[in-house]
Copies of this chain bind each other. A is one copy, B any other.
Amino acid sequence: MIGPRYTPLVDSLPATVPFVGPETQERRMGHPFRARLGANENGFGPSPRAIAAMAAAAGEAWMYGDPENHDLKVALAARHGCKPGNIVVGEGIDGLLGYLVRMLVSEGDAVVTSRGAYPTFNFHVAGFGGVLHPVPYRDDHEDPDALIAKANEVAPKLIYIANPDNPMGSHHPGQVLADMAARVPDGSLLVLDEAYVELAPEGTEAPVDPDDPQVIRMRTFSKAHGMAGARVGYAIGAEPLIRAFDKIRNHFGMSRIGQAGALAALGDTTWLAYMRRLVGASRDRIAEIARANGLMPLPSATNFVAIDCGGDGAFARRVLEELVAAGIFVRMPGVAPQDRCIRVSCGPEPEMMAFAEALPGALLRAR
């Protein structure tokens, strides 16, 4: 009896997982984390209006969500000053990146990104047989000039950049990205991941024409809106590109509960402003804890702070492992030289206190 025959591509893929979840680590340890500060989740939570909308939608969960995501797209278009036809809603940015890579990347196609940028994007590129051409970070920033230079060299289907950046928290002014967009080579598409942009300084949002056929921007309700578990992301791009998602996307893939929550969250601008203040204060708090321990916090335009542990990647890894052993869930960049840092997500004060308590001992044991 001969079992299923995988495609040659899928057969060749490793069974790697982009991120191990905190629940998996908790099961291995046999106890829960004291502080969940590793996945850039927003522990301040969703807007109360979003929570209420999701709780109400739970009772209506017998209905599929609207496959067109009509109401949410109309509201998003009004927010972004574009047409609903410029917007596709999907199962988080991860889901949308998967669709996008599938639409453009055949086996052997080139893709440009930064070495140490978002691993889930790389997972999707590998999953469709694309060939990654990574360029180095420059002073802990993704480097638009290097990305464009590499793109001119390899003619990629996609060029990925996140602004603000994950995992370093750095950012460029939006105009830098707009200038970059103007230099995208023919036949390439710039994927501008703005997952954290609502938490960045004014002017970080790139002034890009939604109808620019060479740019697609990714947004999410997982970060500033605190709804990672509801799985709602969206992309803004030219209408022909947005329509092409309909050829392949899971039309009934969106949770009706998530749709309702996202619509309510979008309307609660007061909460979003409050969240910007809370996250800003929490960044300061993390930086203060880092400095109190002789470490160097990097500037952040996101809801996390990369902390330079002052040694190499192996040392930062030991610090991270000691923190995890002490019940503090944090993560770290994957490649040098960014991997001299650990990455700590913002969160409420009890989590900050737990981190502050655990850090000195973790450093001591790591040394």
Chain A residues with a Cβ under 8 A of chain B: 1-10, 13-19, 21, 23-24, 27, 36, 39, 41-46, 50-51, 54-55, 57-68, 70, 91-92, 94-95, 98, 102-106, 120, 127, 157, 186-189, 213-214, 222, 226-231, 238, 240-241, 243-244, 246-248, 250-258, 261
Q: Which of B64, B188, B214 contacts A228 (CB 8 A)?
A: B64
Q: Are B55 and A58 in contact (CB under 8 A)?
A: yes
Contact of A104 among B5, B222, B228 (CB under 8 A): B5
Residues of B near A21 (CB, < 8 A) are: 64, 66-68, 251-252
B252–A255 contact, CB under 8 A? no
- Closest residue of chain B to A66 (Cβ to Cβ) is B23
Q: Contact check: which of B16, B44, B227, B254 meets A61 at CB < 8 Å? A: B227
Whole-angstrom CA separation of A229 from B95 in the bound complex: 17
Q: Work out how many copies of this chain go into the complex.
A: 2
- A68 proximity list for chain B (CB < 8 A): 21, 23-24
Q: Which residues of B contact A24 (CB under 8 A)?
A: 66-68, 70
Report which of B2, B9, B46, B214 forms a contact with A4, defined as CB distance below 8 A: B214
Chain B positions within 8 Å of A14 at CB level: 247
Asked if A247 and B92 sit within 8 Å, CB to CB, the answer is no
Determine how close the nearest CB of chain B comes to the CB of A350; give it in whole angstroms: 14
CB nearest to A13 among chain B residues = B247
A259 to chain B, nearest CB (A): 8
Pick from B8, B9, B58, B240: contact of A261, CB under 8 Å: B58
Q: Would A15 and B186 count as touching, CB distance under 8 A?
A: no
Q: Which one, B23, B62, B95, B243, contacts A70 given CB within 8 A? A: B23
Q: Report whether over half of chain A's contact residues are helix, strand or loop; otherwise say mixed.
A: loop
A290 to B305, CA, bound (A): 64
Whether A229 lies near B256 (C-beta < 8 A) is: yes
Q: Is the CB of B91 within 8 A of A250?
A: yes
Check A46/B70 contact, CB under 8 A, given A5-B104, A103-B10.
no
- Given known pairs A62-B229, A91-B91, A247-B10, the reply for A252 and B15 (CB within 8 Å) is no
Give chain B residues whose Cβ lies under 8 Å from the Cβ of A98.
250
Q: Contacting A17 at CB < 8 Å: which of B9, B10, B231, B251?
A: B251
Most B-side CB within 10 Å, residue of A228, A244, A255 = A255
**Are the C-beta atoms of B106 and A7 separated by less than 8 Å?**
yes
A17 and B67 contacting across the interface, CB-CB below 8 Å: yes
16 sample A-B contacts, Cβ–Cβ < 8 Å, listed by A number: A4-B103, A5-B104, A9-B106, A17-B251, A21-B64, A24-B66, A39-B63, A44-B62, A62-B226, A65-B231, A94-B252, A95-B253, A229-B255, A231-B254, A255-B258, A257-B257
A189 touches B228 (CB 8 A): no
Give Cα A70 to B24, complex, Å: 8
Residues of chain B within 8 A (CB-CB) of A227 are 61-62
A14-B247, A61-B230, A63-B229 known, 7 other contacts, Cβ within 8 Å? A3-B189, A4-B214, A42-B62, A91-B250, A92-B253, A94-B250, A230-B256
Query: How far is A184 from B120 in the complex, measured between Cα atoms in Å?
Result: 36
Question: For residue A4, which residue of chain B has the nearest CB?
Answer: B189
The listed residue (B3, B54, B94, B127) touching A248 by CB distance below 8 A is: B127
Q: How distant is the Cα of A366 from the Cα of B17 in the complex, in angstroms?
A: 55
B27 touches A70 (CB 8 A): yes
Q: Are A253 and B229 in contact (CB under 8 A)?
A: no
Cα A105 to Cα B11 in complex, Å, equals 12
